[in-house]
Amino acid sequence: MIKKSMLFVLLLTGPVSSDPIVSVGDWFAFAAPNPPYDPGQNLTLKLTLGYGDVSNTVGSTLWFSEPGIFDLSLDAGFQGFLSYATNGMDDPIYVTIADMDGHESLLPFSSGNWEWMFLGGFPDLFPLEITGAQLHVLDVFVGPLSNGGSGGTRVQWEFLGVPEPSTLGSLAISGFALCGGRRVIPAQTAKISTEIS
């Protein structure tokens, strides 16, 4: 039986793609934008990842207050996000973190290969065929951080898709060669042992 609260979460996050995860970014910790927060407070945050405009940003409608994996594939900016995330270039990337009180911090990452650290591919997700994105929230916390904040979250972005066709082809060729090699080895071994005796 599905409880009303569970149904709300399902409607909010949308259906999860059945495609496999093909790329995973590094873990990042972000301080909440307006400390101090009361240690007893239930901190609710919004975290976006994008290229400078809402039309190419994911996460703009997702608010979270606990760990979980949240589908970003239905975001209005998802296709615009993919146009930058799969163009084969190291583009500047931006993270925005906001709290429920309307405070927000924009964090630009524009030099030094940051994009691949967020996306998990170098220099970006090219040539993968990406069909979905997920925000994996490890935790949401209130307490001191090394950067002076008093609340925040630790997250990573995961990308779903179709494995690269050349990878599948390489695996098939390798498997064929491996199987073909096995059939030849016993015959060679038998021939060698007959010559020795």
Tokens representing 173 are: 């060729």
In this structure, the answer to whether residues 15 and 92 fall within a common structural domain is yes
Instruction: Report the C-alpha gap between 49 and 80 in whole angstroms.
Output: 12
Whether 139 is covered by a domain: the verdict is yes
Collapsed DSSP state (helix, strand, coil) of residue 24: strand
Q: Is residue 174 part of a domain?
A: yes
94 with 159, same domain: the answer is yes
Instruction: Examine the domain organization and report whether 97 and 111 are in the same domain.
Output: yes
Q: Does residue 55 surpass a pLDDT of 80?
A: yes
- 172 and 153 share a domain? no
Query: Is 106 found in the same domain as 185?
Result: no
How many domains does the chain contain in total? 2
Secondary structure (H, E, C), 63-86:
CECCCEEEECCCCCCHHHHHHHHC
Distance CA 53, CA 99 (A): 19
Same domain, 48 and 110: yes
Q: Is 99 inside a domain boundary?
A: yes
Q: Which carries the bigger pLDDT value, residue 195 or residue 17?
A: 17
Report the DSSP beta bridge partners of residue 69: 136
Name the percent of the chain lying above pLDDT 90. 59
Whether residues 59 and 101 share a domain: the answer is yes
One domain for residues 126 and 158: yes
Please check whether residues 138 and 184 belong to one and the same domain. no
Its domain, for residue 137, covers 8-163
52 and 101 assigned to the same domain: yes
Asked whether residue 77 falls in the same domain as residue 170, the answer is no
| Terminal CA-CA length for the chain | 74
What are the pLDDT digits (tens) for 84-141? 999 999 999 999 999 999 999 999 998 777 999 999 988 999 999 999 999 999 999 8
What residue type is 196 in one-letter code?
Answer: I
